[in-house]
């Protein structure tokens, strides 16, 4: 009845590698961000991609989803990601419009 | 409905095979936690979308974070990432049935989590002291001037999103530490929590926002007490694993907040 | 699996553990049901006050006195909020879902009984908090159930926008947490606790509808929670997520730089799935009752399941049709318009399947059947105005008019209520062990159906003629003078319809104690709740778990000894 804990015996070493990879990616992010290597929009893209890689590592290994049933993996990920994609397509055009139409009071 | 209460000592329900195989192949508690996390990720997702939405049309967006803030946030990130590793170790220990080491690893996780909260709290206080604040926060004794105070005045979106997002995340980390504490020490954790709450309330000055924020501990104390009253049981490997899921999720959220809130607002040299 | 450990709790002793803080899903279901019943009467009373005020604005009523314009706004806000959250979300899902879902899949209880109890009591706290908004200084909030800022975000915006509005948004946040707990419980139960043989495609359509509703709730309420947190911050901490630069009474407020559109996006991202949360369980109940009492298998079971999944999926992509007139990007409006009309496809599939189920059936016109047919009728008449409102161009004329009010009351309000009535009359024998009175039920049905159409159909005409919603007083407005007779007609119809609900309450409570005893399977239905005793024992099946051999709607099977095959009949007759 216990969950399949014995199926991946290489286990602990993997997690240290994952941890190392996460720290390394964080360091890369910090250097990129602090040195302002890219233009802001490009920087945002790079940081978001790195963050998605990091979260995939956390979800897959630390949260163990890589070892769950395929149905569970796909259902959970698909529903949440779908919501974010839908939000992305409908929220941001309006944010752009608020700015472009100049209805925003810009400060001074 | 008096006749509805049948006496039955030998209930068949526990027998494996009485049910269809669970669709997700995992035990219910894990499925439940995953579903909660799906919902919670949408809560955080909505906050991040609100932040990005504000940021997109607020031009120019201030970029005030110096090396000091970035270094501090990087250390905080490392704390959280390491706490995830110790959490994994706790789950391993629980699965081999090693109670002592489960407790030790959980304690290590909690220490990292607490370090995160304390570092973050100190940074908040420093930023508020330098003038980055929202109108609802208690006013520091002397009004600050400078870049951050100007930002608060001219671009209120910046402090609002910064404090909103990080407060929500800090609350989740706090809940996580309390959750792990209850799993590791059960009812013996509650008095510790109570002492921390009172000490925090008395020691933090009234013009600091954490003088009020510390009441989150009281809330955790009440909820923890209710849950321990309703389910006074020994927590097993499954419970540790499920609490670990929550903890890793908190870590995961920070992986998005850190670059979006801090790294995208570093000082342009 | 280990999940079942949770159900080892034995039958509780003592009044409090048995009826108040019970872990039994059946008791919790009834608690939800009675909470919703209380809420629906509060909500109905508020609507009655509004209708009377519209026609006779000067009249002084007992208890409330004369209704001022701001009181009218409070009434409509609280009517909407209480009805949407504490009736349409609570009764079908929390009430009947809780009571029936575990029995229908052969489980002894929900997957997390303690969470189930907490979820009810959290909902209860939410209800108490929102009712408290009536009694604080300033009274209830004015901003409508959608709570659009800047009105909802400013303490100084009106008399109800002080503490009352804080309580309102707090109550909604509490409700979000409660629904979240309920939703994940429903999903886990359906995934993990189906009896042997109860495959996903053998689940009754009611179970499917609760399951899909729970998924919608899980994904939608989280977003509302963060929207509410930001609104609370705007109100109490002086941030400006939703508030642009505002001048009130010549004074510039401290807010600046926010966007009211952000709230609308976040709110309707929840708000549109919410209308499916209200209507989907009704669809499930209608399918169940139509099939059972027409003595025919449901027409197109799989199509019904896929249609519900399709509605659930599309339901997340259409929220912008509430915002056509709000300054949203016209390109988004175009996409939302197309997607909204796409939702007509699965809805039409469902309607055709219901009609197909009725076609050539041996229909038994019991009260639940009448209500199920009424549900289909309202679903069609309310749904037909949907494609009109889905056009951004037509919406210029129709938005914020009584056309919209008529549309959503028919399809999401009263249709869902008809689903609840059908469910009440259908499952009452199982819940209380007695039958409800058929004659009273029929009288109640015909008055309610006729009354509903008399109230909401004229509203479409009012809307097309330009009558705006949420205006407290229009008897003195010249261009609306010709509409007053129609308004009076609606008010009279509303008074009659609301009075007719007393018949229902009498029937409910009289039958609970004095009705004729019900057998275990009074409707000769096939699903698992009718295989156990009436009312079901503490663990639903008396210590055993049923084994399922058949699909849920096997009526009129050739060669079977009876005209129906129960799901757990080990009969050798192969169906389908």
pLDDT in tens, B213-263: 999 999 999 999 998 998 887 888 999 999 999 999 999 999 999 999 999
Distance CA B56, CA B73 (A): 23
Q: Which two tokens stand for residue B11?
A: 């209930």
Helix (H, G, I), strand (E, B) or coil at C22: coil
d(CA C130, CA B257): 34
> Is the distance from CB of C552 to CB of C568 less than 8 angstroms?
no
Chain C residues in contact with A80 (beta carbon < 8 A): 219
How many domains does one find in chain B? 1
CA-based nearest residue in chain B for residue C214: B35
Q: Where are the domains of chain A?
A: 10-67, 69-102
Residue of C nearest to A89 (CA): C332
All residues of chain B having their beta carbon less than 8 Å from the beta carbon of residue C202 are: none
Q: Any idea what the CATH number is for the domain that residue B168 is in?
A: 1.20.120.80
| pLDDT for res A12 | 85
Place of tokens 């990601």: A81
H/E stretch holding A44? helix A40-57
Q: Does A50 contact chain B (CB < 8 Å)? A: yes
For β-strands C247-248 and C251-252, DSSP reports them as antiparallel
Nearby residues of C272 by Cβ (< 8 Å), 6 or more positions away? C315, C316, C318, C319, C321, C322
- Give how far B33 is from chain C: nearest CA, Å: 8
Report CB contact under 8 Å: C336, A90.
yes
For chain C, give every residue range classified as CATH 1.20.210.10: 12-247, 275-514
Alpha-carbon distance values, C388 to B32, C264, C344 (Å): 40, 21, 11
A98: closest CA of chain C, how far (Å): 8
- Burial class of residue B36 in the structure, from the number of CB atoms within 10 Å of its CB (0-12 exposed, 13-18 middle, 19+ buried): buried
Q: Do A99 and B56 touch (CB under 8 A)?
A: yes
Nearest-by-Cβ selection for A33 from B23, B49, B266:
B266
The residue whose two tokens read 């009181």 is C71
Q: How many CB atoms lie within 10 A of CB A47?
A: 21
- Is B134 inside a domain boundary? yes
List CB contacts (< 8 A) between B52 and chain A. Answer: 91-92, 95
For an interface test with A, the pick among C5, C313, C317 (most A C-beta atoms closer than 10 Å) comes out as C317
Mean pLDDT by 10 residues, chain C (576 residues): 46 77 93 96 94 88 83 94 96 95 93 94 96 92 92 88 94 96 95 92 96 96 95 92 84 84 95 95 96 94 96 94 90 94 95 95 94 96 92 92 95 95 96 94 97 96 91 85 92 96 96 93 93 90 88 88 87 53
Query: What tens digit of pLDDT does each residue of B155-175 get?
Result: 889 999 999 999 999 999 999
Q: Nearest chain C Cα to A104, which residue?
A: C257
Give first-to-last CA distance, chain C, whole Å. 31
Q: B190 in a domain, yes or no? A: yes
Q: Which of C188, C223, C545 sits opposite B12 (nearest CB)?
A: C545
- CB–CB contact C316 A82 (8 Å): yes
Using an 8 Å CB-CB cutoff, list chain B residues near A15: 85, 88-89
**Helix ranges, C237-326 (H):** 260-293, 301-314
How sure is the predictor about A35, in pLDDT bands with cuts at 50, 70 and 90?
Answer: confident
All residues of chain A having their beta carbon less than 8 Å from the beta carbon of residue B241 are 3, 64
How far is C-alpha A72 from the geometric centre of its chain's CA atoms? 19
Q: How far is B70 from chain C (nearest CA, A)?
A: 25
- This prediction has a pTM of 0.93
- Given the candidates 1.20.210.10, 2.40.160.10, 1.10.10.10, 3.90.1200.10, the CATH classification of the domain at C12-247 is 1.20.210.10
> Do the chains contact at B251 and A62, CB–CB below 8 Å?
yes
Residue A103: pLDDT band (50, 70, 90) is low
In a domain, B85, yes or no: yes
Select the residue of A97, A103, A104 nearest C329 (Cβ to Cβ): A97
Q: Is the pLDDT score of B10 beyond 50?
A: no
* CB atoms A94 and C332 under 8 Å: yes
% of chain B surpassing 70 pLDDT: 93
DSSP assigned state of B4:
G
For residue B77, name the pLDDT band (cuts at 50, 70, 90): very high
Query: Is C332's CB within 8 Å of A86's CB?
Result: no
d(CA C11, CA B259): 53
- In terms of residue numbers, what domain contains B191? 26-52+78-265
Structure tokens at C225: 């929670």
Cα torsion through A96, A102, A104, A108, rounded to 10 = 130
The predicted structure's pLDDT at residue C571: 64
Residues of chain B positioned with their CB less than 8 A from the CB of C218:
35, 38-39
Nearest to B81 by CA among A91, A26, C2, C437: A26
Give how far Cα A27 sits from Cα of A43, B77, B162, B259, C556, Å.
Answer: 15, 10, 22, 11, 69
Judged by CB atoms closer than 8 Å, whether chains meet at A19 and B95 is answered as no
Tokens of C531: 């295989």
Is pLDDT at A2 greater than 90 in this prediction? Answer: no
Taking the mean position of all CA atoms in its chain, how far away is CA C320?
21
At the topology level, CATH places domain C275-514 in Cytochrome C Oxidase; Chain A (1.20.210)
Q: Which two tokens stand for residue C93?
A: 């899902």
Cβ count near C174 (within 10 Å): 21
pLDDT at A8 over 80: no
Cα(C101)–Cα(C337) distance, rounded to whole angstroms?
35
Res. B136 pLDDT band, cuts 50 70 90: confident
Cβ of C257 and A104 within 8 Å?
yes
């Amino acid at each position: 009845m216990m969950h399949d804990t014995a199926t991946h015996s290489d286990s602990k070493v993997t997690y240290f590698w994952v941890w190392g990879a996460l720290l390394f990616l964080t360091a890369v992010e910090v250097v990129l961000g602090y040195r302002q290597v890219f233009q802001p929009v490009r920087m945002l893209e790079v940081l978001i991609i790195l963050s998605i890689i990091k979260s995939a590592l956390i979800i897959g290994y630390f949260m163990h989803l890589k070892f769950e049933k395929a149905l569970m993996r796909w259902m959970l990920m698909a529903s949440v990601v779908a919501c974010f994609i839908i939000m992305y397509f409908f929220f941001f055009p309006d944010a752009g419009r608020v700015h472009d139409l100049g209805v925003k009071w810009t400060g001074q | 409905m008096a006749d509805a209460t049948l006496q039955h000592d030998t209930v068949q329900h526990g027998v494996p095979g009485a049910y269809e195989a669970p669709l997700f192949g995992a035990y219910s508690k894990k499925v439940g936690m995953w579903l909660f996390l799906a919902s919670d990720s949408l809560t955080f997702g909505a906050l991040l979308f609100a932040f990005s939405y504000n940021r997109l049309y607020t031009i120019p967006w201030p970029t005030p974070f110096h090396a000091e803030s970035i270094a501090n946030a990087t250390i905080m990130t490392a704390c959280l990432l390491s706490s995830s590793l110790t959490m994994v170790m706790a789950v391993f220990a629980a699965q081999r049935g090693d109670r002592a080491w489960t407790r030790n690893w959980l304690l290590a996780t909690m220490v990292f989590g607490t370090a995160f909260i304390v570092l973050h709290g100190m940074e908040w206080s420093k930023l508020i002291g330098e003038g980055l604040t929202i109108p609802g926060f208690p006013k520091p004794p002397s009004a600050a001037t400078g870049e951050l105070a100007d930002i608060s005045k001219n671009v209120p979106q910046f402090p609002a999103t910064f404090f909103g997002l990080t407060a929500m995340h800090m609350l989740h980390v706090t809940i996580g530490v309390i959750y792990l504490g209850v799993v590791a020490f059960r009812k013996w954790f509650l008095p510790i929590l109570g002492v921390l709450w009172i000490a925090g309330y008395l020691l933090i000055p009234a013009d600091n926002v954490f003088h009020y924020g510390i009441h989150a501990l009281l809330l955790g104390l009440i909820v923890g007490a209710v849950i321990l009253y309703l389910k006074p049981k020994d927590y097993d490997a499954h419970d540790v694993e499920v609490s670990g899921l929550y903890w890793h999720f908190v870590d995961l959220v920070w992986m998005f907040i850190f670059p979006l809130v801090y790294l995208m607002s570093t000082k342009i040299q | 699996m280990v999940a079942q450990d949770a159900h080892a709790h034995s039958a509780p002793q003592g009044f409090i553990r048995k009826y108040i803080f019970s872990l039994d899903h059946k008791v919790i279901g009834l608690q939800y049901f009675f909470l919703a019943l209380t809420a629906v009467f509060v909500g109905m009373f508020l609507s009655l006050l509004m209708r009377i005020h519209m026609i006779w604005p000067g009249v002084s009523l007992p208890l409330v006195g004369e209704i001022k314009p701001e009181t009218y706004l409070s009434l409509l806000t609280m009517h909407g909020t209480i009805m949407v959250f504490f009736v349409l979300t609570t009764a079908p899902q929390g009430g009947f879902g809780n009571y029936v879902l575990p029995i229908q899949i052969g489980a002894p209880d929900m997957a997390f009984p303690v969470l189930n109890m907490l979820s009810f009591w959290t909902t209860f706290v939410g209800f108490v908090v929102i009712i408290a908004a009536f009694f604080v200084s300033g009274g209830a909030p004015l901003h409508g159930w959608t709570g659009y800022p800047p009105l909802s975000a400013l303490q100084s915006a009106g008399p109800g926008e002080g503490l009352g509005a804080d309580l309102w948004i707090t109550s909604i946040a509490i409700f979000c947490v409660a629904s979240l707990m309920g939703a994940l419980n429903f999903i886990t139960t359906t995934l993990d606790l189906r009896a042997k043989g109860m495959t996903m495609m053998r689940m009754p359509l009611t179970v499917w509808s609760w399951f899909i509703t729970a998924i919608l709730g899980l994904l939608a309420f989280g977003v509302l929670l963060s929207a509410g947190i930001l609104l609370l911050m705007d109100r109490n901490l002086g941030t400006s997520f939703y508030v642009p630069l505002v001048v009130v009474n010549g004074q510039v407020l401290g807010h600046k730089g926010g966007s009211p559109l952000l709230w609308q996006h976040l709110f309707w991202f929840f708000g549109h799935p919410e209308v499916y949360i209200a209507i989907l369980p009704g669809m499930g109940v209608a399918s169940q009752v139509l099939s059972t009492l027409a003595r025919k298998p449901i027409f197109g079971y799989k199509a019904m399941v896929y249609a519900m999944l399709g509605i659930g999926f599309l339901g997340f992509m259409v929220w912008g049709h509430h915002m056509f007139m709000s300054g949203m990007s016209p390109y988004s409006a175009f996409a939302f318009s197309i997607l909204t009309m796409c939702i007509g496809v699965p809805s039409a599939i469902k309607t055709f399947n219901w009609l197909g189920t009725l076609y050539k059936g041996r229909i038994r016109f019991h009260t639940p059947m009448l209500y199920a047919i009424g549900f289909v009728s309202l679903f069609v008449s309310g749904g037909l105005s949907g494609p009109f409102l889905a056009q951004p161009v037509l919406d210029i004329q129709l938005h914020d008019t009584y056309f919209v009010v008529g549309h959503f009351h028919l399809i999401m309000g009263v249709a869902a209520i008809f689903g609840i009535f059908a469910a009440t009359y259908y499952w009452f024998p199982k819940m209380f062990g007695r039958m409800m009175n058929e004659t009273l039920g029929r009288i109640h049905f015909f008055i309610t159906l006729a009354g509903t159409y008399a109230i909401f159909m004229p509203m479409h005409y009012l809307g097309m003629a330009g009558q705006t919603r949420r205006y407290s007083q229009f008897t003195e407005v010249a261009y609306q003078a010709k509409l007053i007779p129609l308004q009076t007609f609606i008010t009279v119809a509303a008074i009659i319809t609301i009075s007719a609900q007393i018949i229902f309450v009498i029937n409910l409570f009289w039958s609970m104690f004095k009705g004729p005893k019900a057998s275990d399977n009074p409707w000769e239905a096939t699903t698992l709740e009718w295989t156990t005793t009436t009312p079901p024992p503490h663990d639903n099946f008396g210590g055993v778990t049923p084994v399922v051999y058949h699909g849920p709607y096997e009526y009129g099977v050739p060669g079977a000894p009876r005209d129906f095959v129960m799901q757990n009949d080990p009969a050798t007759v192969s169906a389908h």
